[in-house]
Amino acid sequence: MSAPTIAGPPAPETQQRRVLTTKPSAQDITFVAASRSAAVSTLIIMGLIGVFLAIGAWPALKQQGFGFITESKWLPEAGTFGIASLLWGTFLIGLFALCVAVPIGFGAALFISEYAPRSLKKPLVTLVDLMAAVPSIIYALWGLFFLQGHLLEVARWISVHFGSFLPFFRVDVPDSPSSFTSSAFIAGIATGVVVLPTVTSIMREVFAQAPIGEREGAIALGATRWGMIRTVVIPFGRSGIVGGVMLGLGRALGETIVVYTIISPMFEFTTHPLQSGTNTIASHIAARYSESGGIALAGLLGAGLVLFLFTLVINTLAGVVVSRSRSGAATEI
């Protein structure tokens, strides 16, 4: 065995650095080109939709100016139309939808990821995914023929008991069922059922990723299961909760057929969401596109552009919130 050698201090940098090359194979080049063009084409399609909407909407936006956002009436023949009441209705329905989807989705996600026995977990996950895959026309039918009738009484009860001191819950003719049937409240709750699986599945996915080490750490300290969830799972999944809420909101704002089926359209600011009559951007477009031409159609495209931008922003924010956190790094939304 030779004696160990002792190295002197490193010399100042005189060594030539090597240039490292990796020459891709023909297959790699082909595959990269194919997948890159696929990826780019989705961006292009997205951009084209935006450009198409903007161009189509331009005459209406030019004519109405800022009034397009602030005007409530929709009278293209008379030359005044705007989406103010539509925006408000969209917001109200989104709000009611979240009131249903967030608490139930949160609870369901926690149950599936934390409490459900193993034999139940898989079927529940599949069921939630299936719920998300059901076309919303089915929810619309169910909402129209089942939910509407049952929610009537709920709406009436809220109106009678809270309407006297909270004007928000008041309706004009509380004795007539038709005062309640086509309200933002009922449409919002039906929409909430539509977005519920989305919210549930985002939250569940994040909760399930809470590190086993931290979970065991809490349990070994004598925590109850709920204590462990409060200390480890929920803080870890906070961004997933926010992301799930925003993604649900994004879907709720764009929900068309459920709202269209339930509401009776109205072009006013309603401060009485329990009362029949409201409208949303999506439902309005669906209701009017076939009978519109010229400036009216441009107006609908303008409404579509606003909805497009809204959902784009909300979904992007949701994506950023989820991926920024340590829990969401591996989550796809």
Partner 1 sequence: MSIDTLATDQTTHLPVASAPVPAALVAERVSAWFGDHQVLSEVDLVMAAGKVTALIGPSGCGKSTFLRILNRMHELVPGASLAGQVLLDGQDIYDPALRPIESRRRIGMVFQKANPFPTMSIYDNVLSGLALTGRKGRRATSEHDELVERSLRRAGLWDEVKTRLGTPGASLSGGQQQRLCIARALAVQPDVLLMDEPCSALDPTSTRRVEETIREVAGEVTVVIVTHNMQQAHRVSDHCAFFLAAEGQPGHIVEQGPTEAIFERPQDQRTNDYVNGRFG
Binding residues for partner 1, rule: CB under 8 A, are 118, 211, 213-214, 216-224, 227-228, 231-232, 235, 326
User: Is the CB of 65 or the CB of 211 nearer to partner 1?
Assistant: 211
Among the listed residues 197, 320, 303, 321, the one whose alpha carbon sits nearest the alpha carbon of residue 253: 303
Question: How near is the Cβ of 331 to partner 1 at its closest, in Å?
Answer: 18
How far, in Å, CA of 28 to CA of 36, rounded?
12
Question: How near is the Cβ of 197 to partner 1 at its closest, in Å?
Answer: 26
Among the listed residues 323, 130, 117, 115, the one whose alpha carbon sits nearest the alpha carbon of residue 204: 115
DSSP codes of every residue in 240-295: HHHHHHHHHHHHHHH--HHHHHH--B--S--S-TTSB-B--HHHHHHHHGGG--HH
Element (H, E) at 159: helix 148-162
3-state class (DSSP) for residue 1: coil
User: Is the CB of 111 or the CB of 289 nearer to partner 1?
Assistant: 111
User: In this structure, are residues 287 and 260 in contact, taking their beta carbons and an 8 Å threshold?
Assistant: yes
User: Is the CB of 15 or the CB of 119 nearer to partner 1?
Assistant: 119
Question: How near is the Cβ of 201 to partner 1 at its closest, in Å?
Answer: 22
Among the listed residues 200, 227, 198, the one whose alpha carbon sits nearest the alpha carbon of residue 215: 227
Structure tokens at 300: 């609908």
User: In this structure, are residues 214 and 229 in contact, taking their beta carbons and an 8 Å threshold?
Assistant: no
According to DSSP, residue 183 is labeled B
Question: How near is the Cβ of 247 to partner 1 at its closest, in Å?
Answer: 23
- Cα 66 to its chain centre, rounded Å, is 27
Element (H, E) at 202: helix 184-208
Question: How near is the Cβ of 223 to partner 1 at its closest, in Å?
Answer: 4
Question: How near is the Cβ of 222 to partner 1 at its closest, in Å?
Answer: 3
User: Is the CB of 161 or the CB of 225 nearer to partner 1?
Assistant: 225
Structure tokens at 182: 């086509």
What is the dihedral angle through the alpha carbons of 292, 296, 301, 306, rounded to the nearest 10 degrees? -130
User: Is the CB of 135 or the CB of 227 nearer to partner 1?
Assistant: 227
Question: How near is the Cβ of 229 to partner 1 at its closest, in Å?
Answer: 11
User: Is the CB of 208 or the CB of 219 nearer to partner 1?
Assistant: 219
3-state class (DSSP) for residue 12: coil
User: Is the CB of 219 or the CB of 317 nearer to partner 1?
Assistant: 219
Between the CA of residue 212 and those of 192, 231, 297, what are the distances in Å? 32, 13, 55
Question: How near is the Cβ of 217 to partner 1 at its closest, in Å?
Answer: 4
User: Is the CB of 79 or the CB of 117 nearer to partner 1?
Assistant: 117
Question: How near is the Cβ of 317 to partner 1 at its closest, in Å?
Answer: 22
User: Is the CB of 4 or the CB of 222 nearer to partner 1?
Assistant: 222
